[in-house]
């Protein structure tokens, strides 16, 4: 989308902190904020299993302040947050399977730390705007499609439960303490700078790597599961808009994509765009079957109508741009 001028102007000289800022979405957001003239601080723990990667800020490293720290360390938060005007809160443990194996780490990062961040905000930067990165995983297995924000929350794994609590704290701190928080419930987001080493972030990361290598992709189930995808630049637009617009305060918005596809259609499109590779449909590994949500398609009319958000990158183009990026930067991501 063409982001309106007032939104672009807003970030010039603005003190902005991005938690998870060396990760996939956080670093793409940081790059845009630097372009817009923001004074940007990135907080990231750089835990090797997560999506943080110093290569993600190549070219802007001198234009941002990086603070390698863990949001579980509640003592470092007040000084980081003091004087900040906008907080994009994206730090998170993103793997659903990891949250089954180690639910307490997920709890500490996605739930407890969120409370610590909000406590620090209410003391150190009570007027800051906060945008929290939530997830469609909160809805669990959809009861109807497309899924709007009124859909019941029924997460299927500890990650979804903890993200739901993290999200709820943001809204509660808005109601009780007047913090201006907005929540974006993201669907599968993809593009340059995502983790492709493994499927901790999304299966599509692995698929992109395998497609670049001309290898076989595996589709779990029968491939008929429908999904929607947001290209990362479009997701960044949504964060920028939510960070500026007061209509977003206290609100929850789904982000979707341009159109939904089945996993089979996605695999075929990816292989066509990559010009190589193949796919095989295999049975679900048991653990993954237990947390699979079936079909998911977001109803994202609310953010389109209220904030004027609109995705502009169609799946074919987004996949092509992602493949180009990883062909060029394989060494930093494999």
Give the footprint of ligand NAD on this chain (CB under 6 A).
Answer: 20, 22-26, 43-47, 50-52, 70-72, 90-94, 109, 133, 135, 186, 188-189, 195, 201-202
Question: 262 with 226: CB under 8 angstroms?
Answer: yes
Nearest distance, CB of residue 179 and ligand NAD, angstroms: 18
Closest CB 13 distance from ligand NAD, rounded Å = 25
The 3-state DSSP class for residue 18 equals strand
Which structure tokens are listed for 202? 């999304």
Q: How far is the CB of 188 from ligand NAD (least distance, A)?
A: 5
Q: Which is nearer to ligand NAD, 23 or 243 (CB)?
A: 23
Determine how β-strand 229-231 pairs with β-strand 188-190: parallel
Omega cis (within 30) before 78: no
Q: Work out how close the CB of 311 gets to ligand NAD at its nearest, in angstroms, rounded to a whole number.
A: 14
| Cα distance from N-terminal residue to C-terminal residue, the chain | 31
CB of 206 to ligand NAD, least distance (A): 13
Closer residue to ligand NAD in complex, CB, 134/277:
134
79 or 278: whose CB is closer to ligand NAD? 79
Residue placing its CB nearer to ligand NAD in the complex, 46 or 172: 46
Q: Are 296 and 228 in contact (CB under 8 A)?
A: yes
101 phi, psi to nearest 5 deg: -75, -30
Give the CA angle between residues 35, 131, 5 to the nearest 5°: 40
CA–CA dist 30, 269 (Å, integer) = 30
Nearer to ligand NAD, 39 or 199 (CB): 199
Contact 256, 187 (CB under 8 A): yes
CA distances from 236 to 18, 33, 35, 65, 240 (A): 12, 10, 13, 19, 6
Question: Closest distance between ligand NAD and the C-beta of residue 232, in Å?
Answer: 8
**In the complex, minimum distance from the CB of residue 132 to ligand NAD, in angstroms, rounded to a whole number:** 8
Query: In 3-state terms, what secondary structure has residue 107?
Result: helix
Q: Are 198 and 147 spatial neighbours (Cβ–Cβ below 8 Å)?
A: no
> What phi and psi values does residue 29 have, to the nearest 5 degrees?
-65, -45
Helix (H, G, I), strand (E, B) or coil at 254: strand
Q: How far is the CB of 137 from ligand NAD (least distance, A)?
A: 7
């Amino acid at each position: 989308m063409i982001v309106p001028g007032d939104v672009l102007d807003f970030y010039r000289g603005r003190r902005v902190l991005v938690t998870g800022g060396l990760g996939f979405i956080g670093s793409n957001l940081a790059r845009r904020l630097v372009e817009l003239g923001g004074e940007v601080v990135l907080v990231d723990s750089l835990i090797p299993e997560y999506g943080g990667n110093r290569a993600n800020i190549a070219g802007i490293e001198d234009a941002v302040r990086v603070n390698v720290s863990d949001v579980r360390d509640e003592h470092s938060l007040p000084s980081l947050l003091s004087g900040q005007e906008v907080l994009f809160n994206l730090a998170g443990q993103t793997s659903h399977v990891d949250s089954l194996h180690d639910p307490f780490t997920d709890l500490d990062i996605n739930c407890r730390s969120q409370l610590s961040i909000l406590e620090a905000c209410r003391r150190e930067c009570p007027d800051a705007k906060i945008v929290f990165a939530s997830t469609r995983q909160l809805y669990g297995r959809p009861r109807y499609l497309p899924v709007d924000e009124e859909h019941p929350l029924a997460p299927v794994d500890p990650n979804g439960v903890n993200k739901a609590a993290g999200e709820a704290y943001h809204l509660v701190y808005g109601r009780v303490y007047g913090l201006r928080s907005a929540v974006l419930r993201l669907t599968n987001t993809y593009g340059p700078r995502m983790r492709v080493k493994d499927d901790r972030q999304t299966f599509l990361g692995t698929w992109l790597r395998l497609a670049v290598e001309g290898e076989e992709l595996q589709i779990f189930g029968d491939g008929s599961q429908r999904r929607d995808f947001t290209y990362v630049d479009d997701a960044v637009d949504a964060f920028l808009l939510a960070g500026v617009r007061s209509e977003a305060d206290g609100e929850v918005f789904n982000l979707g994509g341009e159109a939904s596809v089945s996993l089979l259609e996605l695999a075929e499109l990816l292989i066509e765009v990559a010009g190589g590779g193949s796919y095989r449909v295999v049975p679900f590994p048991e653990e993954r079957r237990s947390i699979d949500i079936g079909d998911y398609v977001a109803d994202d009319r609310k953010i389109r109508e209220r904030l004027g958000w609109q995705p502009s990158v169609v799946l074919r183009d987004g996949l092509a741009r992602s493949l180009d990026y990883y062909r060029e930067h394989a060494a930093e991501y494999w």
